[in-house]
Amino acid sequence: MNLSLEKYRVIRVITNKYNIFWGVLYSAFWILLSAFVFSIQLPKGSSPQVYLYFSGGWFSFIAVYLPTAISVGVLTTMVYQTGSIPYLIRFGKLSASRYIISNYLAMLIPSIVFSLISLVLTIIAYFMKYNIILMPYNIGLVFLSIILTSLFVISLDFLLYTIMAKFLGFKQANFISFLPMMLMFALFFSNLYISFPKALLYISPINACLDLTLYSYSGQEPSTTLAFPGSETVSPLLDAISITAWIVILTAISMPLVSRIYYRPEEEIRQM
């Protein structure tokens, strides 16, 4: 299969100046805040494991934020493609599965690249603060959690796009494109100091992504309240199962809708 379409889209997303700013630079801003401002709440002389858990919590925030930021631009691009995509799928050589793959890759690979850059920046920032190299507990598991997190956000955004294209129209596309990001901010900062029921943490895929990334980074099972390790903990394995199930379900719902997308008037898109 010729992957020129996928390569083009991946390169365009990675080199997009808005993605570089809201992806890499904005993430670096939060990393520096966590290392030099938010860390004042840690007791002086804490063990390296405490610092590792703390830095892992903020990296998990970045790892979930990044795909939500990238997906805003990609979803907007998909909206403007709606005029041609239905024709290409029905009468051209573009299949629905190929269209789904190209969009998934356009968000997945940049999310991985930006997340790995943020991982390095996190290690550097906390070394500058504590003069300790806080390496992730399991770098392979960190990589896997980044992939699962990115795939979940991608599958959610793609489903939102297909629902808009098929049923709702694009008048509220700008607001809807920011929904995953707003949910991520709300759930992360709420769970920092509020203990969520275990069942909710497993059912909520965003919380599952946060907890799995935190575990893979720190090696400690996340607690039901992120800011207070040592309380009741959640299972990383159940988090991974929950995320995978959500990816499969959301993608399965999206696939039949893609082939049923019809042309939307340009006037509707202009009202975004």
Q: pLDDT tens, 190-231?
A: 999 898 999 999 999 999 999 999 999 999 999 999 888 766
Instruction: Please compute the mean of the pLDDT values over residues 107-116 and round it to a whole number.
Output: 95
Coil vs helix vs strand at 169: coil
pLDDT given at position 3: 66
- What pLDDT sits at residue 26? 96
pLDDT of residue 159: 92
Distance between CA atoms of 221 and 215, rounded to whole angstroms? 5
Arithmetic mean of pLDDT, 128-140:
94
Burial of 138 (C-beta count, 10 Å sphere; 0-12/13-18/19+): middle
Q: Give the residue, 256 or 58, on which the prediction is more confident.
A: 58
| Contact present, 64 and 188 (Cβ < 8 Å) | yes
| 223 Cα distance to chain centroid | 21
**Among 25-29, 41-45, 74-78, the range of highest mean pLDDT:** 25-29
How far apart CA 34 and CA 54 sit, in angstroms, is 9
Q: What is the share, in percent, of the chain residues with pLDDT greater than 90?
A: 61
Q: What's the rounded mean pLDDT across residues 6-34?
A: 92
The whole-number pLDDT of residue 44 equals 84
Whether the per-residue pLDDT at 8 is higher than 90: the answer is no
Average the pLDDT over 234-239 and give the result.
95
User: To 10 degrees, the CA torsion angle through 159, 162, 163, 166?
Assistant: -160
Question: Using CB atoms within 10 A of its CB, is residue 28 exposed (0-12), middle (13-18) or buried (19+)?
Answer: middle
Q: Give the predicted TM-score (pTM) of the model.
A: 0.91
pLDDT of amino acid 198: 92
pLDDT at 87: 72
Residue of 70, 199, 203 whose CA lies nearest to 146: 70
Beta bridge partners of 163: none
Amino acid at the residue 143? F
Q: What integer pLDDT is reported at residue 249 of this predicted model?
A: 96
Quick check: 139 pLDDT over 60? Answer: yes
The domain locations on the chain are: 4-36+44-270
33-37, 55-59, 147-151, 172-176: least confident range: 172-176
